[in-house]
Amino acid sequence: MWSRHSRVLSENCGRAGVLSLRVCADSGPVRGASAGAQRKAGRSGDGLAQRLDPKLPAVQLNLGLAEFKQGKLQAAIEPLRAALAADPQNMQACTLLGLSYYGVGRFKEANEQLAAAVKSDPGNAELHGVLAQSCLSAKNYSCALDEFTWISRQHADSAAAHMLTGEALDGLGRTPEAITEFEIAAKADPHAPNVQFGLGYLYWKMRQYDEAARAFEAELVGDPANSQALAYFGDVEMKRNEPEKALSLLQKSLQLRDDLQIVHLDIGVIFTEQKHYQEALAALLRAQKLDPAQPEVHYRLGRLYQAMGNVDAAKEEFARVQQLHQKEEDNVADRMSGQKSSPRP
């Protein structure tokens, strides 16, 4: 899953530019307030507009629009909610509210408003783009896939659209189809940021390590400082029994950033096999700190403690592995039970 290992593609494509949506950001004063009230509000500020008649929907909408255009998205939410509550058919308020929710990271609420806005303006590609990104951020991969598929049809040569469609497919567990989308993206623009990394990552997930290595290498030609490409390329080389190549790549990644668990875990594994036990211990403890709930880290620590002759510590780590696996099994059982008991929508 992208959220587990890497969200590079979504981060680099970025949110779809909340303030770039001209339908909202370039709007003038909203109709409905009297001309005199608008002139007074313009001269005296938004506070006076509220004092004139805080219940007037057009005043609330103008206040929300003003906050939105200044990038004060959190402050825009309440007046926009009030405007929309007074006039549920006002699509400008709906769109602005959806974008504001999206901009502050309240994706589920954003999805509801943005979906209504898209339904009202189905040809607006920018709205489809923001809704798609919002659904992806909320891990609503079905919604994201629908939106990115629509965008891909309108922009068949867009590498970014195919990449994001692939990410949504992967989120739904349809990784082979995701690979196809990334291959289309790579063909459309082989130098697009992270297109080769994304393709390599998907190959890596499918354990197609030779294909993954070629893709990561291609990514690094264009972006030698891509720490995640270095990290996963290093992991591939370790799995291809090339520990020295792997270690070189992993250490380059580590020089760029210190928070990738896969780097510390793999370095710990390699050093354990090379019997550099203290270096292995330092790396694995760092990996454990980054994600204490990762069973493999505890398993590798148990193996290391065994090799060091620390039997008690090894037993503790192996017991922890069993606990984590049991917890995951219980969680899966609970989810399945909940699905069975829930009525069909």
Residues 6+ apart with CB under 8 A from 173: none
Q: Which amino acid does the sequence have at 270?
A: I
Half-sphere exposure of 53 (CA within 13 A, CB side): 15
Q: 237-276 pLDDT, tens per residue? A: 999 999 999 999 999 999 999 999 999 999 999 999 999 9
pLDDT at 321 over 80: yes
Residue 298: the pLDDT is 97
Three-state DSSP class for residue 31:
strand
pLDDT at 344 over 50: no
Residue 256: the pLDDT is 97
Residue 56: the pLDDT is 76
In contact, 336 and 329? CB cutoff 8 Å: no
Residue 8: the pLDDT is 38
Please give the structure tokens belonging to residue 157. Answer: 């040569």
Domains, the chain, in order of start with CATH, read 258-331 (1.25.40.10)
Residues 6+ apart with CB under 8 A from 162: 152, 181, 182, 184, 185, 188
Q: Is the pTM here over 0.85, yes or no?
A: no
Please give the structure tokens belonging to residue 10. Answer: 């979504």
Mean residue pLDDT across the chain: 84
Q: Which amino acid does the sequence have at 267?
A: I
pLDDT at 325 over 80: yes
> Radius of gyration over alpha carbons of the chain, in Å?
25
Residue 333: the pLDDT is 66
Q: Could you write out the three-class secondary structure of 249-284?
A: HHHHHHHHCCCCHHHHHHHHHHHHHCCCHHHHHHHH
CA distance 189 to 336: 41
CA distance 288 to 292: 5
Query: Of the ranges 286-300, 306-320, 321-335, which one carries the lowest mean pLDDT score?
Result: 321-335
In contact, 197 and 186? CB cutoff 8 Å: no
Three-state DSSP class for residue 119:
helix
Please give the structure tokens belonging to residue 341. Answer: 């008991």
pLDDT at 71 over 90: yes
In contact, 128 and 118? CB cutoff 8 Å: yes
